Amino acid sequence: MRREPTMRIPLGILGLVAALILYALGVAWASQWIGLLPVLVQTPIYLVLGTVWLLPLRRFLIWMETGRWR
């Protein structure tokens, strides 16, 4: 249990928002090429890109709360 506040949570939230903005901009930039593909190819690409950002989220949230990566 935490006894005194740390800067991990506010900095973690700012870092998370910044990373998600950069990721979304990257996907939007790549969409100019993805959009040239047939719709049946675009769909799985966007499904993967829409969920892959969740993979590191659990460990990042654990770090924000505890200061450990595991």
Over residues 11-57, the pLDDT tens digits come to 999 999 999 999 999 999 999 999 999 999 999 999 999 999 998 89
C-alpha angle 68-12-4 in degrees, rounded to nearest 5: 65
Report pTM: 0.80
Find out whether 61 and 69 touch, Cβ atoms under 8 Å: no
